[in-house]
Amino acid sequence: MAEEQEHRLPRTVIPRRYELTLAPDLPAATFGGQAVIAVDVVEPVSQVVLNAADLEVDEAWLVDAAGNRRSASITHDAVGERVCLELDSVAEAGPAFLHARFRGVLNDQLRGFYRSTYRDAAGEEQVLAVTQFESTSARRAFPCWDEPDLKAVFSITLVVSDGLTALANTKQVSEEPTGDGRRRVSFADTMPLSTYLVGFIVGDLEMTEPVDVDGVPLRVVHLPGKGALAAFAEECGAFGIKFFAEYFGIPYPSDKLDLVAIPDFAAGAMENLGLVTFREALLLVDPAAATQAEELVIANVVSHEIAHMWFGDLVTMRWWNGLWLKEAFATFMATVCTNAMKPEWRVWDTFGLDRTAALETDALESTRAIEYPVHSPHDAEGMYDVLTYEKGAAVLRMLEQYLGADQFRAGVQAYLAKHA
């Protein structure tokens, strides 16, 4: 418990809404940012503690409902990945706004706000600025309460060079020139989100024409010249939005869906709300040369990530020990969706065989339960394994077979409706 408390934030100040402005400089591999965070001060406080890692927070202050400004002295805790803001006077309980100015590096570690490099058609190295925040790397892009139960609304503005595309979780709502060869691109408010689900991308990108899927615009975003490889992903995405909205009995929970192929990406894919990122090979495929096995992988991954829009994004575990609540469900539901889309593939025939790695791991003396204590960011990273994904999915399949598909679906719908 002591180790867990070391990594958990105090609950004396709670975030409600983040207004974030980030200005990446791709050639310099740096970014600057400003945050205005609407918070509830739960009890009188003289300090505010939140997460920040690999960031320099240069200035911070708190403004209460009466307009009183309290300046803060800033202490960085690199080991705890936190920043402590010591206020110059006690802030009373009530609503307030926390302001911060910060800066960081577009790192090459494939986490946080990072640079993804690739070679263009002329052989020149190009850079995208990409986010990957799960599980605890939002704190590497902006100061925040980086714990999954502390959901808040996000309003994102990106200041980008002319000629570059800017994308975020939601639809673009405005764009204006800054007069220095850049422009400010602002996006609609998100629904309340955990920090790890926030996403934004800047770079030279192209995208397919939006397809209207029951009112949800769907696009496949890719590097220049790769549009011919996007058709199957688009088909999977359109089917998944319709299928899951009907299966779960809840409409798609955001205002658009972009499926984005990233050339330099550590995870297989990431379920940022409305801005799902993928390794290129897991999204783009040549329809004239693709094998069924290649298409099956893409169908499963796209379905998995779209399932997360409900299991994970709309309904989120309180803490990382409950990771299976989203990952096992998304893995299981991906098979349900793929089977409905391509019944001739008979994906249930190989479902058990595909879980063999989990069976072998679970037979070891060192195995763990699907839900397991998590005390630190390192522990959270360790939960992304075959037990969470594959054993968890096998248990859900067992429950579905025991209860019957209709009863299981009714239970899933009730669960989502209760916690949405």
Which residues are known catalytic residues?
A: 305
Are 74 and 135 a contacting pair, CB within 8 Å? Answer: no
Q: In angstroms, what CA-CA distances link 88 with 6, 9, 73, 185? A: 25, 21, 8, 35
Are 293 and 312 a contacting pair, CB within 8 Å? Answer: no
Residue 376 identity (one-letter amino acid): S
Distance from C-alpha of 106 to C-alpha of 103, rounded to nearest angstrom: 10
- Cα torsion at 82, 7, 19, 115 (round to 10°)? 70
Ranges of beta strands (E only) in 152-256 are: 153-161, 165-168, 172-177, 182-187, 200-203, 206-207, 211-213, 216-222
Are 117 and 127 a contacting pair, CB within 8 Å? Answer: yes
Distance from C-alpha of 59 to C-alpha of 57, rounded to nearest angstrom: 6
Question: What are 72's strand-pairing partners?
Answer: 87
Ranges of beta strands (E only) in 215-315 are: 216-222, 257-262, 269-270, 275-279
Q: Which residue has the tokens 């025939």?
A: 349
DSSP reduced 3-state for 380? helix
Q: HSE-up of 140 (CA within 13 Å, CB side)?
A: 23
Question: What are 270's strand-pairing partners?
Answer: 277
What single-letter DSSP state applies at residue 297? H
Residue 6 identity (one-letter amino acid): E
DSSP reduced 3-state for 148? coil
End-to-end CA distance of the chain: 29
